[in-house]
Amino acid sequence: MFILHAAFRRALRSQHRLRNGLPSFVIVIVDAEEIGDSHRKAAELALTGRVEPWPHLRRQSKAYVHVLDPPSKKKPKLATAILREHGRHESILMLARNRSEVPEELTILADDVVDLEPPTAAHINAVRCLLGRCRIDESTATAIAGLDFSVMVLLACRPQVTLEVVRRLVAVHRAPIADAVPRLEELPGYGSAREWALAFIEDVRRFNRGQMDWMHMDRGVLLYGPPGTGKTLFAKALAKSAGLPLIAASVSQWQSYGHLGDLLGAMRRTFETAQAQQPAIVFLDELDAIGDRTQFADHHANYSRQVVNYLLESIDGAGGRHQIVVIGATNFPEVIDAALLRSGRLERHIPVSLPDEKERFDILQFHLKLTNDIEGLRDIAADLEGWNGADLEMIGREAKRIGRRQSRSVQVADVASSLPPVQELSEESLRRIAIHEAGHVVVGHMLSPHANISVAIRRRVRWLGSQVRQRGGAVRYELPTDERSLDTRDQLESLICRILAGAAAEEILLGCRSSGFSGSKGSDLDEATILATQMVASYGMGRSLPFLIDFRQVTAESARRLPNGLREDVSRILDQQYSRATAILIEHSALLDRIATELFERETLTVGDVTYLIEDSVAPTRQADMLALSARGI
């Protein structure tokens, strides 16, 4: 009764009308399988004020606690009886098992709907003090507070209780990972993230066998990559395969609890829950929402700084993290505070990229389980470059739905029917794309003659929603192993020159450049701007030597925030390399035109094709030079 009374008082502390004796109607979501007599009595104590009442409620006589019965098929859920009580009493407290059972009209009428949160460690020790029991340490009390109510009360009342006993009970009552979640070994794709995860799972098994200490495990991991690549599913599958509980949270979820104090409290409870269930995995989604203390605006800086600092303390406070692995997921790793990413915290940074052709096939086959026409499915997977795992899962669901409608198993034809329509590019657009990609090829070869270069364009692209998920063209550029080294100023400038060469080629052969090289994250102009900003603000390669931004946190947005002098440096580098690319392409305009023409007609040029075209174009020039020298008697 004491624990429940404390929980109700805590849930209602934000209800100022109720606390000040004004007419109120508040719904409390108990989140229990059954609302018992203890819940009702504890709510009455909190409402009528028999136990340490609020002063105004001591005099409150027209108060009423109503327990909402669960809906029944025989007896539909009606709100009329409760509405009649609403007219008879000044203060009503309604208890419901969950939000879905509350009639919509009551939700509209209520002053507020609040959740009955679990007790805290302080509540557990307060009960023990009330019963004359000795206090227990914070970790043990927190673990007890996370158990089912009946077990929690039993342990809280025991004269002696140890953390080991509590942890054994936690293991018994631990909710298993949903059966719908596959094991990591069953999931296709994920590349280097998969390799790390399989090694981690094996280490957990060694730890369980007593063959290694937890201190040798990774402390934290940051998964980063484009949206829809399956970072959340990865964390769930990892937890299932490792046999560890997964405590999932996000900054937006913490923020939903209310003001700063509530946010920090929710953050603390996430890690307290993990402590009670350790060894465990804490999964923090949308970690970029936490921000970077060096980038906070002045009017939000104090609030945001406290959030970051508290997360740092929670992840790696004075007491350490014990047997907890923290996995963070983000689409924007560059905006995360550097202190979170250092060794000992989220120390390992693993990209989760868009699936390649083989992985796309594996993902489709994972969802479809086809037995016939496997090669047809491979052809479809090859045509879906740029699609993420979520897109492919959606296609799989739609294909299976088509099969169900016709009362048969899914077929490859159903997958083809599920794909969004193909849009044929106009001849003008395709020629512009060919010229753009040819510009990259020519400048790339002139700046690195030994590089292996191939190029392809796409005449047809598929739209998914309002977006084109497939690029119109792409150049594959690979340097020989012996030419790879630390980046120098010359190499970075050449890379920027090559990136801007596509737009320069459009301007030379077509008279103007299009928006195809800019306008979005990952575009040519975005990449070139990031590189130029890194040179100026991270590498000391501008006209001065300041170190202002970690190179991993440089974005086009951070370039905008640089001092005027450094922004001018970035613009100067971009202008110089664009002019350099233009000069190279003008000098080799015949080669540019020939590669663009061949690409337009054939759509794909292999490394051998590109090499042949370059050598075939250069040979007549060399022959003419030799004839000229011979005529001059040299």
DSSP assignment string, 502-556? HHHHHHHHHSS--GGGSSSTTSHHHHHHHHHHHHHHTS--SSS----S-GGG--H
**Both tokens of residue 230?**
């399956």
CA distances from 405 to 190, 367, 398 (A): 33, 18, 11
Please answer whether residues 504 and 582 qualify as being in contact, where contact means their C-beta atoms are separated by less than 8 angstroms: yes
End-to-end CA distance of the chain: 107
Backbone conformation region of residue 51, classed left if phi is above 0, alpha if psi is from -120 to 50, else beta? beta
- Interatomic CA distance for residues 221 and 344, integer angstroms: 10
453 CB burial (10 A radius; 0-12, 13-18, 19+): buried
Task: Fill in the DSSP letter of residue 100.
Answer: G
* CB atoms closer than 10 angstroms to residue 478: 12
Q: Which of 437, 493, 506, 598 is catalytic?
A: 437
* CB atoms closer than 10 angstroms to residue 498: 27
Task: Fill in the DSSP letter of residue 583.
Answer: H
According to DSSP, the residues that pair with 476 across neighbouring strands are: 454
Contacts of 138-147 spanning 24+ positions with Cβ under 8 A: 139/163, 139/275, 139/276, 140/166, 142/272, 142/275, 142/276, 143/167, 143/170, 143/275, 143/276, 143/277, 145/118, 145/119, 145/120, 145/121, 145/276, 146/118, 146/170, 146/272, 146/273, 146/276, 146/277, 147/173
Strands 452-457 and 473-478, by their bridges, are antiparallel
Pinpoint the alpha helices (H) of 351-411: 357-368, 374-382, 389-405
- Interatomic CA distance for residues 534 and 529, integer angstroms: 9
Strands 324-330 and 452-457, by their bridges, are unpaired
- Indicate if 437 belongs to the active site: yes
Select from 105, 121, 22 the least CA-distant residue to 68. Answer: 105
Please give the positions annotated as active site. Answer: 437
